[in-house]
């Protein structure tokens, strides 16, 4: 049974001091219900998560104790992708006629400080100062730039594009365009990555309503079809965060594996995709993920960015809403923001950031610690 | 006052020429750091502790430029914080080990350079001495 997205809702990303993360989740849920023209009491099941803003199943306290089946999901930065995948399989199986997918979060300012014990690592690793995701991203792109001849200019181009797109997205957090000079002048965080090349932990919420494709027209005139949803974890030999060591022989990343599974499910390939949302925890991640998801060859990114191919008017727009760089990363909601944006673009509702040429297919890719990737392929 | 390793089985100590320690899977031969009882490659459980040596080559690197939050242990403040290097050092025994680097000058770090293990006093222990940790330094080759 095919699955459609018939309602989308988003509470603006950034900082909302007056609302808890859960309340932001409720605002997004109400927006998605209104968009689908459906009542809360009609929703049969829900899947969702947050990292720092409490249990997602507490949403019933805000929305109403309707008795629906609700499962809280936590899968690091890939929480949104995993929640969507769970809802997708629930509807696809025919068990439920519709499902809510919900992600929200509210993080304290500054870098995450993970506990080694939560990741199966002894305390010494954190005590000596190695338990930082920023270091991992720096080392990963440093090696990638060395292996594939990517320059610092490419890192700057990704950030510049993100903040430009953020400046024309009314729900983005960072809404000021930055010049390449601004980006190069920002503080060095973890070589070669500077402050404006990193996303920051933030707040925000996204909700989606799914139903079987055959019933989609009951809810909306503009259903977006979920042609594939795949989530994969790392294989032995994939270079991932919080790794005291790694084997010499490298394996394909979980992104490559999830991507291939999604293409197989959808029966199409990267050349058939019109627009994409790719995990851009930092500039380097977007560059790596352009190739890992099959859109270009490793090393080709430099030329793509120089030619503007991934800008809104380019041949393959990436992160049209400003991505994580301009929206920040509320972990529970981030992967769902990507899906929300593809729906907006395929419905032609992007306003100032609408991709020209009437895009028909979209792709989302979320990636998180310690090596989880979630990919979806969508079409109208 | 006595100095002691910050954790068991990370490196040989006391030793005139300390070596990093790792794990060798008796089933598939994969090498890990630190040693662990079950193998990430084959899920085997017969692992033994082996010496990984004290020299390797730098596989990738970065510099930690801001004061980390806990669980980082330090008496420095944001104002007194000194950046430190971090890298993966490829050991000839067959594993890349993540480590602090004594060098934090990006101009002096490059992929492929030879590195030397050093054992350093890191933080105070509860016996009035120091916790000893491992790090790598750039190896001058003449």
3-state secondary structure of A190: strand
8 Å CB contact of A188 and B69: no
Q: Tell me: pLDDT of B54 over 60.
A: yes
Assign 3-class secondary structure to A145-165.
Answer: HHHHCCCHHHHHHHHHHHHHH
pLDDT at B142 > cutoff 70: no
Q: What is the pTM of this model?
A: 0.96
pLDDT for res A52: 94
Please judge whether B95 and A132 are an interchain contact, meaning their C-beta atoms are less than 8 angstroms apart: no
Report the share of chain B in percent with pLDDT over 70.
98
CA dist A217 and A215 (Å) reads: 6
Nearest to B68 among A124, A129, A243 (CB): A129
Predicted local confidence at residue B1, as pLDDT:
62
Q: In this complex, do A189 and B66 lie within 8 Å of one another by their Cβ atoms? A: yes
Closest chain B CA to residue A113: B69
Specify burial of residue A89 (Cβ count, 10 A radius: 0-12, 13-18, 19+): middle
- CB–CB of A139 and B97 under 8 A? no
Look-up of token digits 């790792």: B22
Contacts of B25 in chain A (CB under 8 A): none
Give me the residue spans of the domains in chain A. 3-109+199-379
Q: What span, in angstroms and rounded, lies between the C-alpha atoms of A319 and A310?
A: 8
C-alpha distances (whole Å) from A25 to each of A5, A53, A374 are 18, 10, 21
Give chain B's contact residues with A (Cβ, < 8 Å).
Answer: 6-7, 10, 22, 30-34, 40-41, 59-66, 68-74, 84, 86-88, 90, 94-98, 100, 106, 111, 122-123, 131, 133
Please judge whether B98 and A140 are an interchain contact, meaning their C-beta atoms are less than 8 angstroms apart: no
Q: Average pLDDT, stretch B92-98? A: 96
Residue A369 near residue A117 (C-beta atoms within 8 A):
no
Using an 8 Å CB-CB cutoff, list chain A residues near B94: 247-248
Q: Which two tokens stand for residue A197?
A: 């090349």
CB B114 within 8 Å of CB B57: yes
Give chain B's domain count. 1
What number is the ipTM of this complex? 0.96
Contact list in B for residue A201 (CB cut-off 8 A) is none
Q: In terms of CA atoms, which chain A residue is nearest residue B135?
A: A128
Angle formed by the axes of helices A152-167 and A283-292, nearest 10°: 100
Choose from A110, A127, A136 for mutation: most chain B CBs within 10 A: A127
Residue A250 forms contact with B (CB below 8 Å):
no
Query: Nearest C-alpha of chain B: how many angstroms from A136?
Result: 8
Rounded to whole angstroms, how far apart are CA atoms A109 and A374? 26
Q: Which residues of B touch A148 (CB under 8 A)?
A: none
Question: pLDDT of A268-307, one tens digit each?
Answer: 999 999 999 999 999 999 999 999 999 999 999 999 999 9
Task: Report the C-alpha dihedral over residues B123, B127, B133, B139, rounded to 10 degrees.
Answer: 90
Question: Residue written as tokens 């320059």?
Answer: A151
Range of the domain at B48: 4-138
Assigned CATH topology for domain A3-109+199-379: Peroxisomal Thiolase; Chain A, domain 1 (3.40.47)
Asked whether the beta carbons of A82 and A203 are under 8 A apart, the reply is: no
pLDDT at position B141: 62
- Euclidean distance between CA atoms B47 and A321, whole angstroms: 49
Is pLDDT above 70 for B10? yes
Whether A139 contacts A130, CB under 8 Å: no
Cα A36 to Cα A43: distance, rounded to the nearest angstrom? 11
- According to DSSP, residue A379 is labeled E
With a CB-CB cutoff of 8 Å, which residues 132-161 of chain A face chain B?
132, 134-135, 138-140, 142-143, 146
As a whole number of angstroms, the distance between CA B112 and CA B118 comes to 18
Percent of chain A as helix, strand, coil, to the nearest 5: 40, 20, 35
| CB-nearest partner of A189 from B65, B70, B71 | B65
Q: How far is A339 from chain B (nearest CA, A)?
A: 33
Residue A322 in contact with partner chain B when CB distance is under 8 A: no
Q: What are the pLDDT tens digits along chain A (380 aa)?
A: 699 999 999 999 999 999 999 999 999 999 999 999 999 999 999 999 999 999 999 999 999 999 999 999 998 888 999 999 999 999 999 999 999 999 999 998 877 778 899 888 999 999 999 999 999 999 999 999 999 999 999 999 999 999 999 999 999 999 999 999 999 999 999 999 999 999 999 999 999 999 999 999 999 999 999 999 999 999 999 999 999 999 999 999 999 999 999 999 999 999 999 999 999 999 999 999 999 999 999 999 999 999 999 999 999 999 999 999 999 999 999 999 999 999 999 999 999 999 999 999 999 999 988 899 999 999 99
Residue A49 DSSP class? E
In whole angstroms, give the CA distance from residue A181 to residue A5: 41
Name the residue of chain B whose CA is nearest to A189's CA: B65
B99: pLDDT strictly greater than 60: yes
Across the strands, what pairs with A373? A232, A367
């Amino acid at each position: 049974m095919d699955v459609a997205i018939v309602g989308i809702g988003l509470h603006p990303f950034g900082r909302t001091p007056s609302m808890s993360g859960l309340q932001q989740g409720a605002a997004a849920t109400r927006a998605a219900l209104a968009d689908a023209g459906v009542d809360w009491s009609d929703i049969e099941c829900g899947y969702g998560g947050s990292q720092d803003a409490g249990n997602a199943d507490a949403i019933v306290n805000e929305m109403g104790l309707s008795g629906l089946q609700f499962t809280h999901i936590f899968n690091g930065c890939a929480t949104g992708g995993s929640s969507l995948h769970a809802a997708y399989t629930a509807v696809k199986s025919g068990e439920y006629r519709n499902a809510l997918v919900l992600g929200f979060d509210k993080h304290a300012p500054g870098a995450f400080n993970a506990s080694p014990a939560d990741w199966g690592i002894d305390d010494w690793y954190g005590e000596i100062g190695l338990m930082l995701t920023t270091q991992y991203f720096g080392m990963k792109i440093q090696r990638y730039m060395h292996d594939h001849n990517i320059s610092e200019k490419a890192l700057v181009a990704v950030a510049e594009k993100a903040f430009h797109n953020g400046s024309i997205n009314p729900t983005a957090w960072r809404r000021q365009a930055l010049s390449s000079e601004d980006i190069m002048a920002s503080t060095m965080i973890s070589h070669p990555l500077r402050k404006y090349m990193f996303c920051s932990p933030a707040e925000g919420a996204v909700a989606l309503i799914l139903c079987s494709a055959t019933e989609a027209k009951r809810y909306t005139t503009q259903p977006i079809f979920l042609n594939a949803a795949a989530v994969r974890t790392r294989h032995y030999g994939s270079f991932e965060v919080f790794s005291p060591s790694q084997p010499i022989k490298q394996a394909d990343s979980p992104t490559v594996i999830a991507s291939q599974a999604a293409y197989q499910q959808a029966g199409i390939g990267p050349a058939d995709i019109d627009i994409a949302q790719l995990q851009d925890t930092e500039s380097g991640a977007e560059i790596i993920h352009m190739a890992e998801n099959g859109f270009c060859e490793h090393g080709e990114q430099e030329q793509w960015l120089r030619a503007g191919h991934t800008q809104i008017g380019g041949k393959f727009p990436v992160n049209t809403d400003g991505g994580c760089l301009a929206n920040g990363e509320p972990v529970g909601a981030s992967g769902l923001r990507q899906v929300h944006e593809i729906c907006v673009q395929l419905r032609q509702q992007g306003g100032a950031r609408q991709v020209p040429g009437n895009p028909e297919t979209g792709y989302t890719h979320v990636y998180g610690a310690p090596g989880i990737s979630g990919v979806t392929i969508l079409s109208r | 006052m006595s100095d002691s390793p910050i954790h068991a089985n990370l490196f040989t100590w006391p030793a005139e020429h300390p070596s990093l320690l790792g794990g060798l899977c008796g089933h598939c031969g994969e090498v890990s750091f630190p040693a662990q009882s079950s193998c990430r490659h084959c899920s085997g459980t017969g692992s033994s502790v082996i010496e990984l040596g004290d020299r390797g080559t730098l596989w990738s690197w970065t510099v930690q430029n801001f004061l980390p939050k806990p669980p980082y242990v330090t008496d420095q403040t944001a104002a007194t914080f000194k950046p430190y290097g971090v890298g993966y050092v490829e050991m000839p025994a067959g594993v890349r080990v993540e480590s602090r680097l004594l060098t934090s000058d990006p101009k002096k770090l490059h992929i492929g350079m030879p590195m030397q293990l050093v054992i350093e006093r890191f933080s105070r222990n509860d016996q009035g001495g120091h916790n000893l940790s491992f790090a790598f330094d750039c190896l001058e080759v003449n």
